[in-house]
Structures are given as C-alpha cells and as structure tokens.
Chain A
Amino acid sequence: MSDVAQSEFNIRKYIREDLFPHFMCPGCGHGIALRALLNAVHNLGIDKNRLAIVSGIGCSGRVGAYIDANTFHTTHGRPLAFATGLKLARPDLEVIVITGDGDCLAIGGNHLIHACRRNLNITCLMLNNEVYGMTGGQVSPTTSTDRFTTTTQSGNYEPVFDACKLAEGAGAAFVGREMTLQTPALRDLIMEAIAHEGFSFVEVLSDCTEVFGRKNDMGDSMEMVLAQKSGFRSNSYGTAVDEPFKPRGMKTGVLHRSERLEYAAAYQQHHAEKSST
C-alpha cells in the first residue's frame, strides 16, 4: 500500500488534459483538493479502471469530471444515492463521492445520513467552501455566522452545521477533516479514509475566493487559507492549545474511527443466517 516506493506521482496520468484549464476560479481550493485526492489514489496503487468517482452538482461536482477514471456526474444532492447503487452492483469498484457543502448537507442531507447509517464501503469527500459558488453565492448550511452572501444581505444568522459531527452521529465508520493548505496531511487523511472499511466521510475545508471571499473582504486565496489555518487545530493536539487560546477552535485530522460492520458484509451475514434457519 502506501509504504511501496512507487513511481513518482505524475498528476497528468490521472486527469483529462484536454479539459484543462479547468473551469474553477483563480485560487479555488477545489483544485488543491483534487491534487490531494489523485495523489492518494496514486499512493494506494488503485487502478484507474477500478476507480469510480461519483459527483453531484455544483463547483465540487465539476471536480470529478477532470479525473481520468470512471466518473459519474449525477443530479443535485444525490451522488451518495447513486454511489450506493453503484457499489452494491459492482462491489469490486473503489467508489469515491465528491460532493459539496450545499450538495451534501442541504439538498442531499437525507442521503448523507442514510449512507452513514448503512455504512457501505464508500468514501465521501465533502469540499466545504461555505457557499453555493456555482449558482452565484447563496447561503449554505456551513456558511459561518455573520458572513454576507447573496441571500444573507445583512449577514448570516442561521446556525452552522458541523458536518463531521453529523456524519459521526449518523454512524459513519471513519470521519476526518482537513484543510487544503495542509495538502500532504489531506492526502494522508484521504488515503486512510479510502483504506478504511465502511463509510468514510472526509470534510475538506476549501476556500471560495471569488464568490465568497471577495464579498466578505477575506482577501485572496493565501489570506483565506491562512485564516483557515489559524482557526483550526489538529485533533492530535488534544485540548492543550485550545483551552487558553481557541475555546471554539474546530479540529482537523481523524475525528472518529470505528470498526462497525460494513453494509455488504452485514447483508451477507444476515442472508446466511436467514437461509440456514
């Protein structure tokens, strides 16, 4: 697996070069997340023919289209539903879902909790940029308090979803969070998530510079990722740093890991029990 010294990672082997340059705005963190994902796939030695990428609608949905593998661009909020069907029909495939915060938590929230509950062996990568970027910057379930969007002209007043807690509560086997600035850490987290048996949920903190950052005067992509870095703490630090300085600092890294029975295995076990009686 990861300890095998393979050929050097060449991203051009994994992308559809004819579609480049991609459609994302200058400084968009989704491109960094794409590199981390492809590097993780490379390090795990997953064959492109055995890799299925399922994505929904939105900026994040377009990320999947640039990967030279079996890609599946589905309807808004439903990539997890499609992926569930795909994995059940073709258990040999490595199914990775790329979804966004609006796609996954708002319109697809129902599918997320049930995918977590069933614990099917797929990996869900949620690119969280705090906004509906593609449709013009509407408020999303993860938009921070007091941020301006086209639908919250006086600042956002809605409470924010903690997607990782939601996934953990719904029963996901592996939950992690990482920001795009820490790209090697993000790659390693994705590798762990893919390797973990059961439903793996990874929240990637991305940045939307053009639609969200510009409106909120958050500076360019460098300032946005550095602001992210100062607001988050690695889970491995424990509370040592948080207690005095960052009482509300959110955590990155592996947040939850359990060995709950995977859906296909549970199904087979159930079937064997029923047929034997």
Chain B
Amino acid sequence: MTERETLKADVPAESLVHQRPTNVLVVGVGGQGVIMISKVLASLSKELGHQVKQSEVHGMAKRGGAVFSHVRFGPAVFSPTIPEGEADILVALEWAEGLRWLPHLKQDSGTFIADTQQIVPPFACRNRSRGADLGYPRETVPDVMEKIANSFALDAVGIATEMGVAKAANTVLLGTLSAALDFPVEAWKSVISEFVPPKTIEANIRAFDAGRDWALSFDRQTHLKDWTGRTVRSPAEVVDSAAGITSTLEITEEWCKGCDICIKFCPERCLAMDARQIAILVDPDRCTGCRICEWLCPDLAITVHTQTNTDSA
C-alpha cells in the first residue's frame, strides 16, 4: 500500500488539499543548535499526531557555515521542503541568516523570530584594514520589525548568558517559538528533556521558560522604543572607532638579512625585497598592523608601532 493510499483510508481526499501543513524554517550558523530546534519541533509534532517531514542542509556547518532546516507538519505533508514565500514561521539563530531567508517567509501573515546575535562570516571581511567596510547587512532590528508585522527580535544569547548557560540560547528561541505554536507547554518540555544532555535538562527548561515568558510579555511598541541591543555598526561608525588607531612599520635595514619570510607570510602582500636584498614596505596603506612580519622576523628587524591618537576623539 502506498503512502497516499494509507492517507486516503483515514482522511477524505478533498480535505487533504485544503489542510495545508504548517511550515517552520529554522536557520542559523553551524554550532548554534539549528538541528536541535528542528528535531525537537519535529518529534513533538509527531508525538501529537501530525505527519512530519524535516530536511536540513548543514554542509560546512563545522566551519561556521550556514545551516538551515525545513520542518513541515500537518495532517498530510508531501514535499519535504518549504517553497519560497510559504514559511509560516522563520526562526533565525543569527541575524544575517534570518535576513537572508526572509523571502521564504509568507508575506503579511508570516512570523519572524530572530536572535539578534551577529556572527560576521569570514567572507564579509574582504578588506582587513582597520575601519574597513564590513559586508554584513546593515538592517537594524527596528528596520526589520517595521516591515514585518509579526516579528520578534530578542537577544537570546544575552538572555541565556544572564542565566549562566550561554549554550542554551537555542532553547530560549524554542520557548519563543512555543508561544507562536499551539502545542501544550508540558509536551514541549518533555521533548526537550529527551534531546538535551541529562545534566543540562534543568538549565534548558529554565531557558525555555525565559524565552516563552519573553514572548508572552512582548509589547511591540515598547520593544521598538527601548531597543538598545547590539545592532550592526554603520560603516561610518566603524571608521570612526578605528580612526584613532594607526600602525606604522619600522624596518631596521642593518639587521635585515633578506630571508624574505616576512614578504611571503604578509597577508596583504605589502612588503617586498629591494635591490639590496632588504625587506621594504612598498604599500603602507594596505598594512593592517597584524604583526605577522614582526612575529616571524628571525633577525628581529621589524617592529610594528601602534599609536592611538587621542586628539581625534
């Protein structure tokens, strides 16, 4: 008997088409607990008698890469993935990942739950000079909350850290998610207890309650008005904070023996060998003051001086 025929046995065929499944998309960065959230949600909805399909991609997760997981549950689920613009709830464990997946959220009625934690991915730092522009999204929490009616941005990591269990940030988000779904609280807690290590059950339940309480006492207007959380600094601000710091490279020519280890290891390629076989700084503007040349100069000929110009402040 195929799956379809089984379904037909208990549910009338026409109602299948109308009762569309609930789509929850969980996104984040490797190591944050995306998979854990989706597993808890999937097994909980299975226990409560729904049909569940879950699919995930965690390719380069261990290297801090993007992770996402589709969870669909309802009377009948066919495709394991959520089409664009069809997610009822988008849970983001990292701010930029959340923004990246926004097109998947159902327009107008979709719920956006996001941790405001920001993890800047390596490819957002193309220019390593001090004060350089980051390739990280500039949208602040109020910007996004203005656009999406059902949006909840909370500092889950901050809440979890305050409770002394920074790792339970994902459970805080589960608590917030539980407020958006119509499942009994006790069922949530029992499933969470099955998934977390035995020693951390108590801490995770506390984290869950904290997230749920936050969501239930959430008031959009005051939240927006009092928003003081971490937001991405605008390029101008970044430049300002770094403007006071300048680094200069001093090369003692008499000591340099021309082994060229500094030239080969310089990540910015701003050193070169001159005709006398002595290392020289050819591109001072590109030098970021990373000190690799200073550390590795066997002749102790390179010194990086970092000055903080207090008068610029």
Contact = CB atoms under 8 A, between A and B. Distances in A.
Nearest to A29: B298
Contacts of A32: 295-298
Contact of B261 (A11, A20, A35, A222): A222
Nearest to A223: B264
A31 B260 contact: no
B259 A15 contact: no
Interface stretch (B2-10, B32-40, B224-232, B250-258): B250-258
Contacts, number: 67
B272 to A, nearest CB: 15
Contacts of B303: 10-12
A183 interface: yes
Given A26-B258, A26-B259, A31 B298 contact: yes
Contacts of B264: 220, 222
B298 A20 contact: no
B265 A222 contact: yes
B246 to A, nearest CB: 14
A21 B254 contact: yes
A46 to B, nearest CB: 19
Contact of B295 (A22, A183, A209, A222): A183
A8 B300 CA distance: 16
A15 B300 contact: yes
Nearest to B262: A222
A11 B300 contact: yes
B268 interface: no
A254 interface: no
Contacts of B202: none
B299 to A, nearest CB: 6
Contacts of B297: 31-32, 35
Nearest to A30: B298
Interface string B286-306: 000000000111111101001
Contacts of A30: 298
Nearest to A224: B261
A21 B299 contact: yes
A21 to B, nearest CB: 4
B255 A20 contact: yes
Nearest to A24: B298
A91 interface: no
A193 B261 CA distance: 28
20 contacts: A20-B300, A21-B254, A26-B298, A26-B299, A27-B260, A27-B261, A31-B297, A31-B299, A31-B300, A32-B296, A35-B297, A183-B296, A184-B295, A220-B259, A220-B264, A221-B259, A221-B298, A222-B264, A222-B265, A225-B296
